[in-house]
Each structure stands twice: as structure tokens, then as C-alpha cells.
Amino acid sequence: MSRYLPYWCYYLHQGMLTALILQGVVGYFRHQGLDLASLSLLSLTFLPWIGKFLWAPWCERHSLRLRGNHYLGSLVLLQLCMALTLLAIGFLAPEYSLYPIMAGLMLLALLSASHDIYADGITITTCDAAGRPFANTAQVGGSYLGIVFGSLVFLFLAEHWGWRTGFIGMATVSLLLLLPVGLLPASNSIDEPAVKPKLDRSSFTELWPALCLTAIYYLAMRGLMAIQTVLLMDNGMSLAQLGLASTLYSTVASAIGVLLGGWMARRFGAWRCLLPAMLLHALIALAAALGARVYDLAAWLVVFSLVNIAAAIGFVTLYNLLMGVVRPHQPASDYALLQSVDAAIAMLASIAALQSAHYLGYPPLLAVLASIAFICLWPAWRLCRRLERATPPSPSFPPAHEVIHAHL
């Protein structure tokens, strides 16, 4: 199982940076008294994740090889650049350099989104169908584990030893996470593809069922997760309690979901797990809607525990499926396009849910989310059938023992 350690490391790195930008830095500046209007500018760091499909083909065409792997050289180079960027931001004075710091964080988000293109390319081209559930578990689990470093560890260091120490700590972790890359197997092919990766009309026409499925799969969960923090606070939870609850949700609850999702994908296959996972999402949304006017804080804590578990199961299941539908000549580019759709839906669903909660209240919003979750089951079933018929029954990549043998 040591061959999966590099996957955990580079996905943990991405989760760490996302949490650092959206939680760690936000918490630090808010503690220093920065207004919410200025903090809202950090939402712009979503943009590279939404738009990364635009430059993913270029990244794939110009990827740097290392140790027999198509994408590893580029991934290592980008991670080194991110470590240097973290150090540079740490040496800026937060009291006087707000906008330079925000520019540095935007650069960090751009590098991280590009790093993800190569990380996904490595995962897809070094795992066969049997090993993919383990890789998807690392993908989702590593991202959640990174939240602990980017939020809790950074804030602890910054509170006790200052802003600079917090960023030096993050840069150190970034470099340490490069150490296990030697365990990665070689890519499944050493030949250059006959067709160069590119973004064109075929990217949308050939992948449209997967794009549509990605768009509708998480709608209810995205809405519920968007209002999680504010709903708990409105039900009387203090900031300290909220921090503890958020940590438990991002670690314990999500770990349970990741392990369950990985086991389900290995035991039953991603195709058979996808619709049951969506049905679970719909039932949880229905339970939230039915109890919207009567649940107390303890009940909502249970509901959102289930939300985080179900969301993690869904992430592992869908990502497993999507890695099997990308085209062999440009796996990283196709996967980036699918993830960009996911990121765009996440941002839009978050904005829509919070706006609806503000103007309509929680009960109507939860009723709408439950309705959407059940309505999406039918088109998801049709899309799954279409994708399953179009996907070759044999794995697109060589068996695990052949991949490892190529590395040796």
C-alpha cells in the first residue's frame, strides 16, 4: 500500500493550501479586525479552479517527465514554486501589505490549480480499475486531511509565534510532502500520444454526459454544506464550538465517508454505488427539510455529521467514475474540465443557497434542496446508463502489477 502514499501527499498539499487561503488566512485577518468586505476578495481564489480547464491542455502538452512518469517533473517544479511563494508571503507584513498578500494568495491558488492538473494526470495514468478506489480514497481523504494543516496548524503557529512562522511552517510541510514521490510507479505508456491534448468542441461533445452528471450530482449537498456554518451559529453555537465542530466534520465525519466510499467502490464498483449515494443525499436533505422548524442545535449537529459523511462518500464514488471516462490521449485535460464544472457548480450553489437563506429563510431553502435532490435522480440514472454503455468493459490502463514492474 506504500505506492499510494504519494497520492495522499500531493492531495493533502492541495487541501492544505485551499484551507490556508479560505480558512487560515481569513481567520487570522478577521482576528486582527479586518472587515468582511475586504475578506470577501479571497473568494476570487476560486477562479483558477474554475478556469483551469482552459490551460490544462497546454500543461499536458508541455509536461516534464521525471522517473519515467509523464507529469511528475511538472508537479515537483510547481510544488517547489508554491513553497517559495509561501515563504515570500510570510515575509510580508500583514498590517501593511494586505493587497500584496492577496496577490500572493491568488498566485498560490493558480499554482495549486495547475498542480492539481498534473496530480490527477499521475493518478489516472498509474492506476488501473482495481487500484482506482484506493487512489480516490487518497484523493478525497488527503484533501480533507490537508484542512487540519492549512487551518488549525497554521492558526496555532500564527497565534503563538506570528504570521511569518505560520507561513514558514506551511512551506516546510510543502517541501516534506515531496519526499514520497520516489514511490510513484511509472506512467502506463512511454510513447507520446498521436493526438496532442487540446481543448476543442470534441472535449464537450464527447464528455457531455459526464459533464452533466458532475453538474447535478452534488446540488443538494453543496447547498447544505454552504449553510452549515451560518445555520449552526444561528442556532446558538459559539465560535469556539463552531471551530471544534468544523474540525470534527472535516476529519472524523469525512474520514468515515471516505473509508465507506472507498470500500463501496471496491466491493460493488463505482457504477453501482453512484445512484445509492445520490439517494442518500436526497434522504438527508428531506430529513433536514422536514425538521427545519423543530430541530435544536444537537439535532442539527447530527444532520450535518450525516451531510459530511454522505458528501465524502459521493466525492469518492464520482471521482472514481470520472477517472474511468476520460480519453486516453489527454486524461489530465479531460479531468480538469470535469473538475472545473464541479468547482463552478460549487461556487454558484454556495452563493444561491446563502442568498436564498437570507431572503426566504432556512425552511423554504431546505425544501427546495430536497426537491432538487429527488428530481436529479432520474436524469442521473439516464446519464449513468449512457456512460456505462459507452465505457469499455476492460480497464483503460494496465494492471497494477505491470505498472509497478515498469517502475522497477
**The domain that contains 98 carries what CATH number?**
1.20.1250.20
Higher confidence at residue 109 or residue 29?
109
Q: Among candidates 179, 228, 206, 218, which has minimal Cα distance to 76?
A: 179
**59: in domain:** yes
Report the amino acid identity of residue 261.
G
Of 20-34, 147-161, 359-373, minimum mean pLDDT range: 20-34
CA atoms within a 13 Å half-sphere pointing along the CA-CB vector of 144: 27
The DSSP element (H or E) to which 233 belongs, if any, is helix 219-234
Of 2-11, 30-39, 227-236, minimum mean pLDDT range: 30-39
**Conformation bin of residue 68: beta by default, left when phi > 0, alpha when psi is -120 to 50:** left
Between the alpha carbon of residue 392 and those of residues 92, 196, 388, 398, the distances in Å are 52, 22, 8, 14
Confidence class for position 117, pLDDT limits 50, 70, 90:
very high
Confidence class for position 400, pLDDT limits 50, 70, 90:
very low
Q: Among candidates 241, 243, 318, which has minimal Cα distance to 281?
A: 318
Q: What is the pLDDT of residue 374?
A: 96
Q: Which are the contacts of 399, defined by CB distance < 8 A and separation ≥ 6? A: 128, 130
Q: What is the pLDDT of residue 187?
A: 66
Locate 35 and state its grid cell: 472587515
Phi, psi of 14 (to 5 degrees): -65, -45
Confidence class for position 1, pLDDT limits 50, 70, 90:
low
**378: in domain:** yes
Strand partners, 66: 69
| Euclidean distance between CA atoms 173 and 86, whole angstroms | 11
**196: in domain:** no
Q: What is the pLDDT of residue 403?
A: 31
**170: in domain:** yes
Report the amino acid identity of residue 256.
I
Q: What is the pLDDT of residue 192?
A: 57
| Euclidean distance between CA atoms 282 and 373, whole angstroms | 5
Mean pLDDT of the chain: 84
The DSSP element (H or E) to which 192 belongs, if any, is none
- Mean pLDDT for 57-80 is 91
**194: in domain:** no
Q: What is the pTM of this model?
A: 0.76
Q: Which are the contacts of 30, defined by CB distance < 8 A and separation ≥ 6? A: 36, 39
Helices and strands of the chain, counted as H and E runs = 20, 0
Confidence class for position 30, pLDDT limits 50, 70, 90:
confident
3-state secondary structure of 394: coil
Domain containing 246 equals: 2-188+202-407
Q: What is the pLDDT of residue 195?
A: 66
Q: What is the pLDDT of residue 391?
A: 66
The DSSP element (H or E) to which 289 belongs, if any, is helix 270-290
Higher confidence at residue 56 or residue 251?
56
Of 178-182, 372-376, 395-399, 402-406, minimum mean pLDDT range: 402-406
**254: in domain:** yes
Of 284-298, 346-360, 364-378, minimum mean pLDDT range: 346-360
Confidence class for position 216, pLDDT limits 50, 70, 90:
very high
Q: Among candidates 299, 312, 334, which has minimal Cα distance to 249?
A: 312
Chain-centroid distance, C-alpha 53: 15
**231: in domain:** yes
3-state secondary structure of 66: strand
Q: Which residue has the cell 454552504?
A: 226
pLDDT at 280 over 60: yes
| Euclidean distance between CA atoms 94 and 92, whole angstroms | 6
Task: Give how many domains the chain has, as a whole number.
Answer: 1
Report the amino acid identity of residue 75.
L
| Euclidean distance between CA atoms 337 and 183, whole angstroms | 28
Strand partners, 69: 66
**195: in domain:** no
Q: What is the pLDDT of residue 309?
A: 92
Locate 8 and state its grid cell: 495522499
Higher confidence at residue 78 or residue 139?
78
- What does 34-87 look like in DSSP terms, one character per residue? --HHHHGGGGGGGHHHHHHHHHHHHHHHTPPPBTTBSSHHHHHHHHHHHHHHHH
Higher confidence at residue 233 or residue 256?
256
Contact 42, 21 (CB under 8 A): yes
Confidence class for position 402, pLDDT limits 50, 70, 90:
very low
Confidence class for position 194, pLDDT limits 50, 70, 90:
low
Question: Tens digits of per-residue pLDDT, 52-67?
Answer: 989 989 998 899 988 8
